[in-house]
Amino acid sequence: MTILRPLLAFLALVALPAAAQAADKLVLAFGDSLTAGYRLPPGKGFAPQLEAALRASGVPARVHNAGVSGDTTAQGKARLVWVLASLKAKPDLVIVELGANDMLRGLDPARAEANLDAILAELSKRRIRILLAGMVAAPNLGPDYAKRFNPIYRRLADKYRAGLYPFFLQGIVGDRSLHIGDAIHPNEQGVKVIVRGILPHVRRQLAGR
């Protein structure tokens, strides 16, 4: 018995980190270069900064980076099932951030909407909470394109009763000090602004509200 007690105590201590990790919420950041951390040092992209912000605000969470630079909505749709299968657990929340590359290439907004619809349908079928991160058409594409593209996100969020963060780049557009130099992708400080804006929405979704 004297030998058994220390052994049990040791096993309990070893199990503590695993138990703590199991209690963490799992957030999947599913998107393009804006979530991938394009040209940013390790730990400075959207996923690690959001994870740090969640933990600092008292929400134990892991944010898995599933952003792929250059991805369109069609490419996101094609890899979604594979990404979900590669995870060791069902996500508590998926942040869907796609559509910027469709817009920048002037692709048909109807196709982008259909692809996003398929992504949200798959997540809804699996009973996974969704936070849809919206995008806004660049002015040079003209008012007709914006009229077709911009309402996509609100329409789909309403359809699937998903959370909506209307504009992922809110707060950084037009401020060169928050970009890496291409006037598109955020730098470390730009990501910090994005995380600060989206954090309440992520917390609300994780709390089931």
Catalytic annotation present for 92: no
Give the active site residue among 33, 64, 71, 201. 33
The CA distance from 21 to 60, in Å, is: 9
AA identity, residue 50: L
Active-site residue, 185 included: yes
Q: Are 77 and 118 in contact (CB under 8 A)?
A: yes
* 182 classed as catalytic: yes
Residue tagged 């996509």 (tokens): 152
**Contacts (Cβ under 8 Å, ≥6 apart) of 194:** 46, 168, 169, 170, 171, 172, 186
Both tokens of 7, joined, read 């052994």
Cite the DSSP H helix spans in 24-151. Answer: 33-36, 46-56, 73-86, 100-104, 109-125, 142-149
Residue tagged active-site, from 64, 71, 102, 185: 185
Contact 31, 95 (CB under 8 A): yes
Query: Collapsing DSSP states into helix, strand and coil, what is residue 20?
Result: helix
User: Pick from 97, 75, 58: which is nearest to 191 by CA?
Assistant: 97
Please give the positions annotated as active site.
33, 182, 185
